[in-house]
């Protein structure tokens, strides 16, 4: 009898879990933005540096409070200021394409609206991501890949190994959803905490100019410190730091549209996929 009751309870809980959960599929579009060594401020919105971004995602709603999301985003970050920043010798006209796979948890912190109707939901999210980047700079009218050059002595004796172009990141952010039950519209802003300071190929490492010139060649030396002419004699002790005080981040601001593929009322009312209704 106890086994029958236990099986009944397990089956009931399973049915309850299935009734509470739902799967959404969606697309997102918006903008991407960079913050780092080349920024005038650690955090700020520079409209001239906003670039288009797009992606897609799947969201599994465990219940009305918690959801797990798997997504892909692609965008570009850039810095195209021509004025020097105090405290460093900076290479300008930087850009990098970014492709990101992420897995995050969403926590709905406030829901306004009746069950079964349109809801306004605020949420926060956090998790992990794997992203690929490729910093470039404009030189003599052409974009040049920076990582293979070793502009900060990467790979030379006494310097770090070349940095990897695929790295881990921690996405964090917040958003607002208009939840219609069978579909939802979301507005989201999220930043990525990075474990590399080379998104822009610039860090706070102390460099010797002759090391770069003799170890990696004239192009690497020129891009490392454009204020020095490679044809001029340079003392062995000429050194410099290119990076500023700010660590690298990138951000995505997106608008997303998602449709419920069915499975209960984990998000709102439990209506299955269908034409949008208002």
Residue 244: pLDDT band with limits 50, 70, 90: confident
Q: Are 242 and 207 in contact (CB under 8 A)?
A: yes
Query: CA-CA distances (angstroms) from residue 59 to 20, 98, 127, 180?
Result: 14, 22, 14, 15
Q: Among 233, 216, 83, 237, which residue's Cα sits nearest to residue 159? A: 216
Provide the mean pLDDT of the chain.
Answer: 83
SS3 39: coil
Beta-bridge partner residues of 57: 26, 71
Position 4 pLDDT exceeds 50: no
Write out pLDDT tens, residues 158-171.
999 999 999 999 99
Query: CA-CA distances (angstroms) from residue 102 to 94, 105, 134?
Result: 25, 10, 18
Domain boundaries, the chain: 21-260
Write out pLDDT tens, residues 87-96.
445 566 789 9
Position 84 pLDDT exceeds 60: no
Write out pLDDT tens, residues 87-122.
445 566 789 999 999 999 999 999 998 887 899 999
Q: What is the pTM of this model?
A: 0.82
End-to-end CA distance of the chain: 50
CATH for 21-260? Answer: 2.40.160.20
pLDDT at 82: 52
What value does the mean pLDDT take over residues 183-193? 96
pLDDT at 44: 56
Position 274 pLDDT exceeds 90: no
């Amino acid at each position: 009898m106890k086994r029958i009751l236990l099986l009944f309870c397990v089956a009931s809980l399973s049915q309850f879990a299935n009734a509470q959960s739902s799967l959404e599929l969606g697309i997102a579009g918006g903008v991407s933005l960079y913050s780092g060594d080349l920024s005038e401020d650690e955090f700020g919105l520079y409209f001239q540096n906003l670039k288009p971004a797009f992606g897609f995602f799947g969201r599994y709603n465990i219940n009305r409070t918690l959801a797990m999301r798997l997504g892909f985003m692609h965008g570009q970050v850039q810095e195209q200021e021509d004025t020097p920043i105090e405290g460093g010798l900076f290479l300008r006209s930087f850009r990098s394409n970014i492709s990101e796979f992420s897995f995050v948890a969403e926590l709905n912190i406030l829901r306004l609206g009746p069950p079964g109707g349109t809801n306004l939901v605020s949420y926060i999210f956090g998790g992990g991501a794997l992203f690929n980047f490729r910093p470039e700079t404009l030189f003599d009218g052409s974009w040049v890949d920076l990582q293979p050059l070793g502009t900060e002595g990467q790979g030379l004796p006494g310097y770090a190994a070349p940095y990897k172009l695929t790295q881990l990141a921690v996405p964090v952010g917040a958003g607002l959803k208009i939840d219609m039950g069978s579909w939802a519209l979301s507005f989201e802003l999220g930043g990525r905490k990075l474990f590399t300071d080379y998104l822009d190929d610039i860090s706070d490492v102390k460099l010797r100019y002759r090391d770069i010139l003799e170890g990696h060649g004239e192009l690497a030396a020129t891009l490392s410190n454009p204020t020095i002419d490679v044809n001029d004699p340079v003392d062995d002790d000429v050194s410099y730091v290119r990076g500023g005080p700010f660590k690298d981040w990138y951000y995505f601001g997106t608008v997303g549209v998602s449709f419920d593929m069915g499975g209960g009322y984990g998000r709102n009312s439990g209506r299955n996929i269908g034409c949008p209704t208002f």
